[in-house]
Amino acid sequence: MVDIRPATSEDVAEVERVVAAAYEPWIPVIGGRPLPMEADYAGLVAAGKVLVVEGQGALTAVLVLETGSDHLLLENVAVDPAAQGGRLGSQLLAHTEGEARARGLPEVRLYTNVLMASNIAWYERRGFVRTSEDGTPTRRRVWLTKRL
């Protein structure tokens, strides 16, 4: 398992770099910048909602979690493309599920753009089920849930 730690204010620029690198390939697919590229990471870090993974002197992954009344929202999981393919995303997902259990929450929820078909399939292979869609025509989201 990887070492996951809370992000600090000193990490904000690297958090933004990892998120940009992870989501940049999706811009031509969805016709614009994915929502995670627009987030206020300084504010999210200050609120204690961002976790990071380091590897070889740089951040390799970012996890943003929001606690709901009856679920844990996986707001964002971003893995630097240079670190993809090594099961890091699966480890981050397992960590998220563990966090939900530790907080006494019965499920993890997340959303992704409806056009990010490979991401949707990846989550479905890990036990997530589509529950709804919402958003605008240019920012259509698919919501997925995993009961724990």
Q: Which CATH number fits domain 4-106: 3.40.50.920, 3.40.50.970, 3.20.20.210, 3.40.630.30?
A: 3.40.630.30
3-state secondary structure of 95: helix
List the domain boundaries for the chain: 4-106
Which of the two residues, 43 and 134, has the higher pLDDT score? 43
pTM, two decimals, is 0.93
Amino acid at 127: G
100, 108 contact by CB (below 8 A) = yes
State pLDDT tens for residues 64-109.
Answer: 999 999 999 999 999 999 888 888 999 999 999 999 999 999 999 9
